[in-house]
Structure 1
Amino acid sequence: MTTSTLINTAPVRPELGDFSSIICFRAVVIGIEDALGEKAAAIALISAGRARGRQIAEQLGLKSSVADLTAIAASLNLILGKEGTRLCIIDEITVDSTIRVSCRETICSSAELQGSSRKLTYTLGAIQGALEQMTGCRLRGKQIESVLRGSTHDVVEFEILT
């Protein structure tokens, strides 16, 4: 049984399956940006991702139950990676005064041109929501590195608020 079947007990779409294309996701993001403006769209997409990240972590029983970084990274990969929603691959999580998550193949950076100013929005929100559920801490996130601007990973950093 895969994570996707744990999240949805039956396929939402019997013939096409539960996943859609990155091209369609990008069209939704661009449409929201055109309708609301870039800043309002970013707020909406981060919020939507955060809600989804919390929901998935809770559905998998990971609510305030994980404290070990290795276990958190493995759980995030299970939820968001190849066996889960395929949103991104989490390669590393580090903690000092903040939590840093290094990821790649993010849906937000996919098919973007090198040098693009696009930032992680939905992906950042989903990681934040899942981390908040798994750690029981409220977080504030921002992207600090991008594969679109020369980094090997998209890196998001979360300030621990509570």
Structure 2
Amino acid sequence: MSRPILGDFSSIVCFKSAIVGMEDALGEKAIAIALISAGRRRGKHLAQELGLAGANLSLDDIASKLGFAFGKDGTRLCIINRIKAEGDVIKVYTSETLCSTGEPQGSDRKCTYTLGAVWGALQQTFGKRFQGKHTESVLRGGEYDVFEFTEMN
């Protein structure tokens, strides 16, 4: 079933309300696990749709393709500002994330779904398993929401 008038997108306000409601009902940790998992699934499918799976692209090219898909011309999940490698760690610098929208400065909210979506896309692109974490937040003084990924052996 398609939505011929409303299309594929809905309000970020509604999605955030669903997240907070689920957290209230089932607890923050359980919902964080579920949202990261859901995001990873979405990211994997997106990478396949974009033809990134197994592609031998630079991090700049990957950032550009994911930035387009997740950004203002795509799903509007977040802006991918850049992706860079620091030793064994891949860092993804994002802004205007779903997670930080509407949150007050100083909030302890972590990005879950957004982290998962980027995580899944990177795993599918590189064909490797990663451990991901949200290490810097615009809500706590960071310039970006930064996600760090290390390969799992």
TM-score, reference length from structure 1: 0.90
Assess if the C-alpha contact under 8 Å between 1:49 and 1:129 holds in 2. Answer: yes
Q: Percent identity?
A: 56
Structure 2 residue aligned with 1:83: 73
Alignment match of 1:47 (pick from 29, 37, 44): 37
Structure 2 residue aligned with 1:65: 55
Q: Give aligned pairs, total.
A: 152
| Separation in 1, partners of 2:149, 2:41 | 16
Structure 1 residue aligned with 2:13: 23
Structure 1 residue aligned with 2:24: 34
Secondary structure in 2 matching 1:16: coil
Cα displacement string for residues 26-68 of structure 1 (whole angstroms, at most 9, x for unaligned residues):
1110111112211111000000000001011112221121431
Cα displacement string for residues 126-160 of structure 1 (whole angstroms, at most 9, x for unaligned residues):
00001111111111100110000011110010111
Alignment match of 2:132 (pick from 124, 141, 150): 141
- Structure 1: gaps (5+ residues): 1-10
Shift of 1:82: 1.5
- Structure 2: gaps (5+ residues): none
Structure 2 residue aligned with 1:97: 88
Runs of 4 or more above 3 Å deviation = none
AA matched with 1:22? I
Assess if the C-alpha contact under 8 Å between 1:57 and 1:63 holds in 2. Answer: yes
| Separation in 1, partners of 2:53, 2:2 | 25
Alignment match of 1:159 (pick from 147, 150, 153): 150
| Separation in 1, partners of 2:54, 2:151 | 15
Q: Mean Cα displacement is larger for which, 66-75 or 87-96?
A: 66-75
Give me the CA root mean square deviation: 1.3
